[in-house]
Every structure is written in structure tokens, then in C-alpha cells.
Structure 1
Amino acid sequence: MSDTPFYCPDIRENPQLPEQESHHCIKVLRMREGDRLTITDGRGYFYDCILTEAHPKHCVVSIEKEIFRGKSWNFSLHIAFAPTKNMERNEWFVEKATEIGIDEITPLLCRFSERKEVKSERLRKIIISAMKQSRQAVLPCLNEMIPFQEFISMPFSGRKFIAHCYPLKKEPLTQTYKKGEDALLLIGPEGDFSEEEVQKAIEKG
């Protein structure tokens, strides 16, 4: 039995592993029919299953038991960040954000952004892998890249924070954020947010 769960978002409706997961199950782990495995749907559930059809492209399983393992907190943490030029740093960032339990991740396109686009599919694979490796059952939401001005105009009911290097009044996050509050944190590009972006964010609350 594998210690790392497999990911299958529609396991209830279709008890069959996706092709990539099937390949890993059969070709890498050498699992056989009758072996036990754990699957998560990324929506808060783990499933104890038995492999009933061992095929490298479409493994079929039988669900023996489902276990709810949703978030252990009832608030939302959203990080919006401007991706760096070095893609490996962005991949590391979303991996660690997933491991610590961030609920939503949004890439931002800012005035000083050095990276104007990101490969969302690649980042999504990193997030899925991090969820599985950390044995979590809730997959963070990864949004498409969005212009800064458009993003800050979107509604958000929780606390909002923006990290910047300008000489404005600031307080440590540990002193202003109270555990249990919904929170949105904005992180700028390598050249920081522009002064105009910071001012507009402050005006938006």
C-alpha cells in the first residue's frame, strides 16, 4: 500500500484513476489487483480502495470506505502574488503554500512584473503533488493570472494585507491579523509594487 494518496477528483462518479495516476500506480509502484490504496478527491475526502483492474492507463478501484478529512480551520487564506522571473521559485512558492494550508492562490500581473504569464497547468500539477505528499485532502484553488487593478476591484469580505517596501505606516502581520479571520495577502514582484498600486490597494481597503 502506498503511503502517498492518489488524486482522483471524480472518484465517486467514476472509480477509475486518471492516466497519469494509473501509470504511477502500475509502472512505478508495481501495484497489482487486490492491493489496497488511498485516494483523495481534493474536496476533503480520503477513500480506502482496492485495486480491481490493474491497467497502466486506467486503473479501476472499488471503494471500501470514505473518510472526511476536511480543513481543520473554518476561515479562508488567500495569497495573490506576482510570479518571479525564475519559474522554479514560483513552483517552490505554490508547493509550500499548499503544504501550509493556503486555500486560494492567484498570480498577479503588476506594473513591474518581469513575468507576464505563467503555465497554470504546470503550477496545478505542483499543487496536486504537494497536497498528496503532505497527505491533505483539500486542493487549493489556483486562479488564472489577473491584472493587479482588476484583482483589487474584486469583492473580498475578510482582512486585506499588502507587502511593500515604501516608507508608509506599517505594523507587523503578527500584531494586526487575528487567527480565525479570512485574510488576503498581496505579494509584489521583484521590483515591488508601484507606488500607485500600493496607494490604490490602500484606497480599496
Structure 2
Amino acid sequence: MALDLANGAVLWHHAPSLRPCALPAGTVVTVRITPSPALAVVLLDAATGNDRWESEPVALEPWVRCTLDDTPDFSLRTETDEAADEVLIHWHARGSYRGGAAPSPQVLAAAAREARGVLRVDVAAPSVDALPEAGAAGSPGPPEAEAVDAGAEALVPPPAADVLDRSQVGDQRLELAFEPDSGAVVLRAVDPPTATVRWAVEVDHTTTRRAPKLPP
């Protein structure tokens, strides 16, 4: 879903699920899982949401569990070089023991796995090259979480109880929130100094009805 951040108007929808990674020169660079553990890069027209191009699937290690959202097992980070019309999508995968019984230290060590790589996207061509993490020109290194300024973080009030996630975009804070009375999941823009909601749009809906009781 693409929104106008000024007023929350829905510009277009796109399915199936994609993860937007960058927006160079009117093109939305996205990633699709097709199927796990493989990734495909999909280029969309930023104005209409129409598909422009899709790469062949890039296979990852068989044990990798790809996800569109960042998890402890899999995460993505993006760099954009607008001058070169190039986008670097760094991926980082981790594997661990998933058995039921308490494992020994030796089993834990044997099950621990890690892999990294880069998808180098040439938006103009278009093309995608799969590279090892160290093979991406200009790469600053492994994709790790950026350090947060503790002083700045302390100034941000804690999220309301209904907020599932939030991030700062320009001069407004975007919040993904769940409304328990209606069952709606909404994306809303909030003015940080006053906590006033500028706009809100429903992005999903869950039922608030309970399942019927089964007969004895």
C-alpha cells in the first residue's frame, strides 16, 4: 500500500506481499520471497504501483528462513547510490537449534549458523547481482542495527498501549496501532509535540467476535 503522507490518502495497492527497500528516481525497489529460501527483486512504478520488472529468484542457503519483516533469524538493510542508479540490499541470516529437548553445548554449537550477502540492483539496466557481503563495492560492512542516541531516545515518550510499531518520518510520527473496539489495524500520523492525530487509515481488520462454544 502506498500513501500520501500529507493526508493519508491511499495512492495504490499491490499484492502479493512485498518489502519496499528504496525509492530511486520514481521506482520502488522491493523484495519478494519466491519461495523461501529465495529472494526476488521487483521494481514498481512509484506513481501507479505497476510492475516494471522482476528478477530471477536468488537462492540462499537451504537452512535460511526468509522473512519480509526483520527477525532474529533474518534481516535486510538497504543502501542507495543515486548517482550510480544502484541499490545494495544486504541480507543477514542466522540459524540455531530448534529441537525439543535441552541440547548439549556441543549440539548448540553445531547448530549455530550464519550467512550474509548482498543483492546489487542496477535500476536502469535493470539487473541483479548476488554478491558475498565483502564483495559489494563501497559496502560499510555487515548489516548491524544502527546505534541509537541514548539522549535523543530518552526524549521520546513511550508508545501508547495500542501502538504496535512506530517510526519518525520527517516532522511526523507514524504509528501502527490496533483498535480493540473495532478490530481495525490503522496507520496514523501523529504530531510529536502535541500527540494530535493528523490522519489515520485502516490497513487491516481482525474480528472481535469470539468463536462459538462447541457442544458437549
Higher helix share: 1
Does 1 or 2 have the higher relative contact order (CA < 8 Å, sep 6+)?
Answer: 1
TM-score range for the pair, normalised by the shorter chain length:
under 0.3
Length-normalised TM-score, structure 1 = 0.24
Higher strand share: 2
Length-normalised TM-score, structure 2 = 0.23
